[in-house]
Amino acid sequence: MATLLAFHAHPDDEVLLTGGTLARAADEGHRVIVVVATDGVMKSVAEGGTTRMNELRAAAAVLGVARVEHLGYADSGHGKDLYPDPPDRMRFVRASTEEAAARLAAILREEQVDLLLSYDPNGGYGHRDHVKVHEVGRRAAALAKAYSPGKAITHRIDVRRYAGQKQRALAAHHSQISGDGRLSAVARVLVRLPAPVFGRLLGREWYVEAK
């Protein structure tokens, strides 16, 4: 069996972008790990951790994830303004790519990861933290030799069988669902959909093998 590590920018990305794949891999007996660059929080973290990290662990348990790690950075936010770093940690976008990659590579080596899931050069939709995940993920893979060069191949993974798990894992991110942003409104709709409809909408996930 293989070890798969999904590297994401923020808590809840693991469900929306790879939840079905992670659930399927775990169900098939593979070891599944989730690493997030940021805890999804813009401000300082109170003692005891953050709500979003706790939600991430709850969602990971639903998906069958064996280990969850945070690289230690703060959310960089979005929009034209980049706020100062909170007192206790650096915003991910300001972090040294080499330093962040070394942190991720250490986990790749420790776990002897066979497959690393990361983002494309645009980070999916251009969010500064997502773009940084691509840069850090590629460098970490090179440092740890997590995958070999090869022809770019697009993979379309059918995860409709795991749509119920994916939906329950999304529901574990209570703070995001109860927010007042546009993505929160979309998440509220998704978690209330009948499972077959959810599966038709989010029952496939796509990947490109990196060169």
Which tens digit of pLDDT belongs to each residue from 66-89?
Answer: 999 999 999 998 878 888 999 988
Which tens digit of pLDDT belongs to each residue from 133-183?
Answer: 999 999 999 999 756 444 444 677 889 899 889 989 988 998 888 777 667
CA dihedral 167, 158, 52, 113 (to 10 degrees): 150
Examine the pLDDT at 130 and tell me if it is beyond 80.
Answer: yes
Kindly report the backbone phi and psi dihedral angles of residue 155, in degrees, each rounded to the nearest multiple of 5, phi listed first.
-110, 130
pTM over 0.85: no
Which tens digit of pLDDT belongs to each residue from 3-17?
Answer: 999 999 999 999 999
User: Could you give all domains of the chain from N- to C-terminal order, each with its CATH number?
Assistant: 3-208 (3.40.50.10320)
